[in-house]
Structure 1
Amino acid sequence: MFGWAITFLIVALIAGVLGFSGVAGTATQIAWILFVVGLVVAIVFFLSGRRTRI
């Protein structure tokens, strides 16, 4: 997830430099959503992996 978020962030930066504000805004929103989803999934995996089994 984080790899895709970085990819979309780079696309947004390049589109912003070239003047494509619509594409840059969309890519930024996609990058933000992927980052948040990746963070939530990472926290869930971290918490579920720490349980001790009796």
Structure 2
Amino acid sequence: MLSWALTFLVIAIVAAIFGFSGIAGAAAGIAKIIFFIFVVLLVISLIANAIRGKSPRL
């Protein structure tokens, strides 16, 4: 999911360089939403693993 956020961020940067402000704004908004979803899922995963008390497998 983090890769999708980075992809949309790159699209937003490229679109901004070429002057497509509408596309750049939309891509930046999508990247921000996906990034925050990623952060929320990461926190939930960390809390769930801490509650279960299992150590990560290697």
User: Superposition RMSD on alpha carbons, in Å?
Assistant: 1.1
Determine the structure 2 residue equivalent to 1:46: 46
Post-superposition offset of 1:46 = 0.4
Matches of 2:27 and 2:49, distance apart in 1: 32
Taking structure 2 as the reference length, the TM-score comes to 0.86
Task: Give runs of ≥4 in structure 1 deviating > 2 Å.
Answer: none
Q: How many aligned residue pairs are there?
A: 53
Flag structure 2 segments of 5+ consecutive residues without an equivalent. Answer: 54-58
Q: Kindly provide the amino acid, as one letter, of the partner of residue 37 in structure 1.
A: I
SS in 2 for 1:50: helix
Flag structure 1 segments of 5+ consecutive residues without an equivalent. Answer: none
Percentage of identical aligned residues: 38
Taking structure 1 as the reference length, the TM-score comes to 0.92
Q: Kindly provide the amino acid, as one letter, of the partner of residue 9 in structure 1.
A: L
